[in-house]
Each structure stands twice: as structure tokens, then as C-alpha cells.
Amino acid sequence: MGERDMPEYSIIEKEAPASARSKSTLYSEIVADFLEKHITSGLVQLSNRKPATVYIGLKKAVKEANAPLKVRKLGDEVYIVKK
């Protein structure tokens, strides 16, 4: 068997840059605002965002905040509800 030509390459030690995407504080602010209002449930309306995007963003924010809340999506409406 003949020796195959291997491509030349090098690996240089370098710290990887931080992610260009930052965590969205918008959804965290919505969760905090909801908790401050002392209500049991509320409809979240966000312009220029699809309901599925709002739902996912709020679910992540609730989980990160360890808040006693549930996020529900009914049709095109997204609700935050206290557990």
C-alpha cells in the first residue's frame, strides 16, 4: 500500500472569542415585570415577534430565573401563569 499525501495543516493555540449572540434580557425583564405586578396570569403581547418565539424566549427566561411560573401558548396568544 502506498503512502497517501496528507494535507498540511497547523493548530495554533488561541482563546476562542465570546459568542456574538448575547442572552436576551427582554424576556428576563418581562418575567421580572410580571412578578412585580402580583397578578396570577397575563397575556404577553410583543410586536414584531412570532408567538412561538415569544413562548420559547419566556420559557427559557422562567427557567433561568427559577421563577414559580408557567408559560402557555394557546393559538397565537402567549400567557404567563403563576404556579
- How do residues 19-35 score in pLDDT, each as one tens digit? 665 557 899 999 999 99
Strands (E), the chain: 41-44, 69-74, 77-82
What is the number of domains present in the chain? 1
Give the separation between CA 9 and CA 80, rounded to whole angstroms. 52
User: How confident is the model over 61-83, as a mean pLDDT?
Assistant: 96
49 within 8 A of 81, measured Cβ to Cβ = no
Q: Is residue 47 part of a domain?
A: yes
Q: Is residue 30 part of a domain?
A: yes
Give the list of residues 6+ apart from residue 75 with CB closer than 8 angstroms, or none.
51
Give residue 36's domain range: 25-82
CATH number at residue 45: 3.90.1070
Place of cell 499525501: 5
Give the separation between CA 28 and CA 60, rounded to whole angstroms. 9
Q: Is residue 46 part of a domain?
A: yes
Q: What is the pTM of this model?
A: 0.72
